[in-house]
Structure 1
Amino acid sequence: MAETTAQQPLAGIKVVEFSTMITASLATMMFAQQGADVIKVEPPGMGDPMRWLGSRKDSISGLFNNCNRAKRSITLDLKSDDGVAAARKLCLEADVVIHNYRTGVMDRLGLGSAALRAERPELIYCAITGFGHQGPLSDRPAYDHVMQAMTGFMSLQGHPESFAYVKTLLCDKLTAYTAAQAITAALFARERMGEGQHIDLSMLASCVAFLWPDGGMHLTLKGDDVIHGVPFADYYQLPLRTTDGAIAYAAMSDDHWEAVFDMIGREDLKAEEKYKGIENRSLRMGELASLVASEPPRMNTTDLVAGLAERDVPAAPCMSLEEIQNHEQFVAMGVFEDQDHPLLGPLKNAGSPVHFAGQKLPPCGPSPALGQHTDDILAEIGMKGA
């Protein structure tokens, strides 16, 4: 068994993953980065459809790599008795089983939580669904952009007059992080109680829980005595244009706003009572942000960010993903890791953001080819090809 260390706290934990796309895959990659042995079960032929989306080499896309590093891949035909038998044996030797299949699929295969945990009570079983197990939509499939529409993200992003996607797989990824936290908590509880447990997790509820603290703050307080400010969407001050691009800033205090007014050449706004004090601004934030953003650019990006920083206003240039890779702050923090993949050649990965005991996690292993470890894994559980 692998040795548990500060940087590899999940060493010795075995995770079996049945999934397509991101929600379960990204969650389990975090476990793999922290030392767990993650076995990804894929159907023969195509494997996880994520392998084929976007830029790729052979059967490994950039997206697949970014959600499946440091795992082992086994191909099993779950439509065959032998495939199901192998999957069942894998699960009964695991600490964690996770899937994102539609409700009832795993039960019909004999791989449901109740059946497995009856034989292995210490098993932690996490089932991720789109819409949960109750209600009229519980049997429907769900993907990220559908969930963005259903849970209010598109309304918030297009506020106040339209609908717009957040152009990243936000709902998938935040569900993955929610699953990772829940499973880690269940592993801790098992250490205390000696038993595993079943975890149900829906994308819908995960998205609302993520969005509500700020997105729903104007809907939280009830009653006729509520003093309503603007929704938090209006606090996202519009980018300030510069002569060579744009910056984002986060002005909160009176001093911050006075600095902004000075930098854009609108010193007259400092005398406006309606913009003084956080209470007044909270009622007019959309108006103020639009007014400031409408000013013609006077300074370049570097000088404007530096000028605001001198007066302690949080600010940063608007940068592309291509630009951030070589930015001095990202380099200093070691945000990216270069990897020489045995199948894909040179890669640039985003490393784990977590530091344990003051140290970055060591670079993790490569993403697997489809079925790359099938024979080894089957041998480990005393079975032949399935």
Structure 2
Amino acid sequence: MSAPLAGLKVLDFSTLLPGPFASMLLADMGAEVLRIESPTRMDLLRVLPPHDRGTSASHAYLNRNKRSLALDLKKPAAIEVVKQLVAEYDIVLDQFRPGVMDKLGIGYAALKAVNPQLIYCAITGYGQTGPYKDRAGHDINYLALSGSSAYTGRKDSGPLPLGLQVADVAGGSLHGVIGILAAVVKRQASGQGDFIDISMTDCAFSLNAMSAAGYLAAGQEPEREGHALNGGSFYDYYQARDGQWFAVGSLEPQFMQQLCAALGKPELAKQGLDQRPEVQQALKAAIAEAFAEHDGSHWQQVFAPLDACVEPVLSFAEACKHPQLKARELTQSVPLKAGSSEVQTQLACPIRFAEPLPAARFAGAALGAHGAEVLAELGLTEVQIAQLRADKVLA
């Protein structure tokens, strides 16, 4: 099939997680992605453990299907190469702090002058404006400032480091892809490019969703274990006798009735809809007591045939083997190099179309692996490419 984004060309200046995850999704869906990397300042993702056959597993995954061109952007000749590339590319993805690309001479204004149809997406911690625009941060900081950390976790132990990079991925990466694809549609109608300002903090703030609606419209401040979905009701995790945890989401009456019958406590079902805190806490205690009477294997057998919104908490290794996730083919074998018989198992793209996406061509490439190939496509001769290497413009 022709992949949905076949024909789109992306210049990716990003590192670590947010930008690379976004450009990986674009590449999975058929876009041609070229990473512009520094030959002197390594993307730390390249050395992040664990390693598989000497290569960071995270880097190999996040940079699959992407070519790599290593340019020293502090050298004028490198800037000229970028401008030549931009004339032929649709999208630039930038993850530097605001103003860095402008200082290099390849910010949006400079590149738009080369290609007026260019779509430029900048993913940053705090956005292009505001008093924090130049401030450093990580996922945990963006979640803290967005208000969401204040009502996650437990009252007696405080907020939790989630493990998932919510602000980075659900915030920066996914919103970046949404913005890029919206700009592509707009360009099809207008012929004009666009600048997309993605702040991971902004996006994390918007992910507050229902809690934000409750506060902004009704003045109800979300608190830790203070509402039905964050531990303030029976909607929670419960531990079996052997330590196995179970997620109970039996909110609707028909699910609550099945839950309570399975636990041998059908009389509890009527308490499910009573949102008084004292009732919910008593209900939680009764459910916890029931789960603690048997091992996890018992409860898995009990709930497997029921449609009660109760599932075991799986390790990632167990999730990989779960029949539902296996049926959805959420992992794939990716050649370590194009055409290689050596493969690495990676997460697959979760977006499904009527026809399957093309198979992944190769895992994340070595630094500058495609430099000569890319420059030759621009029309540079072997002598010119050799001179760029001699001048340390190109790695």
TM-score over 0.5 for the alignment?
yes
Q: Which residue of structure 2 lines up, in the alignment, with residue 166 of structure 1?
A: 162
Deviation at 1:100, TM superposition (A): 0.8
Partners in 2 of 1:286 and 1:136 — Cα distance? 43
Q: Which moved more, 1:108-117 or 1:326-335?
A: 326-335
Please tell me whether residue 301 in structure 1 is matched to residue 296 in structure 2: yes
Q: Percent identity?
A: 28
Please tell me whether residue 348 in structure 1 is matched to residue 315 in structure 2: no
Letter of the 1:170 counterpart: V
Which residue, out of 18, 24, 36, partners 1:41? 36
Distance 1:250 1:306, change over 3 A: farther
Counterparts in 2 of 1:11-160, with a 5 A limit? 11-57=6-52, 60-160=55-155
Which residue, out of 177, 182, 187, partners 2:184? 187
Which residue, out of 202, 208, 228, partners 2:205? 208
Partners in 2 of 1:340 and 1:195 — Cα distance? 38
SS of match in other structure, 1:347: strand
Deviation at 1:131, TM superposition (A): 1.0
Q: Deviations over 1:51-90 (max 9, x none)?
A: 1112124773111122111000010001111122212222
Deviation at 1:193, TM superposition (A): 1.4
Q: Deviations over 1:122-168 (max 9, x none)?
A: 11011111112332211112221222222234323224341221112
Which residue, out of 217, 221, 226, partners 1:221? 217
Query: Which structure 1 residue ranges, 5 or more long, are not aligned?
Result: none
Partners in 1 of 2:247 and 2:102 — Cα distance? 49
SS of match in other structure, 1:176: helix
Query: TM-score scaled by structure 1?
Result: 0.87
Letter of the 1:87 counterpart: V
SS of match in other structure, 1:362: coil
Query: TM-score scaled by structure 2?
Result: 0.86
Query: Which structure 2 residue ranges, 5 or more long, are not aligned?
Result: 221-225
Kindly indicate whether the alpha-carbon contact (under 8 Å) linking 1:127 and 1:201 is maintained by their aligned counterparts in 2. Answer: yes
* Number of positions where the alignment pairs a residue of Structure 1 with one of Structure 2: 372
Letter of the 1:289 counterpart: K
Deviation at 1:213, TM superposition (A): 1.3
Instruction: Tell me how large the CA RMSD over aligned residues is.
Output: 2.6
Deviation at 1:26, TM superposition (A): 0.7
Partners in 1 of 2:69 and 2:16 — Cα distance? 16
Q: Which residue of structure 1 lines up, in the alignment, with residue 262 of structure 2?
A: 263
Kindly indicate whether the alpha-carbon contact (under 8 Å) linking 1:157 and 1:165 is maintained by their aligned counterparts in 2. Answer: no
Kindly indicate whether the alpha-carbon contact (under 8 Å) linking 2:119 and 2:194 is maintained by their aligned counterparts in 1. Answer: yes
Q: Which moved more, 1:375-384 or 1:294-303?
A: 294-303
SS of match in other structure, 1:201: strand
Please tell me whether residue 240 in structure 1 is matched to residue 238 in structure 2: yes
Distance 1:69 1:282, change over 3 A: farther
Partners in 1 of 2:69 and 2:288 — Cα distance? 53
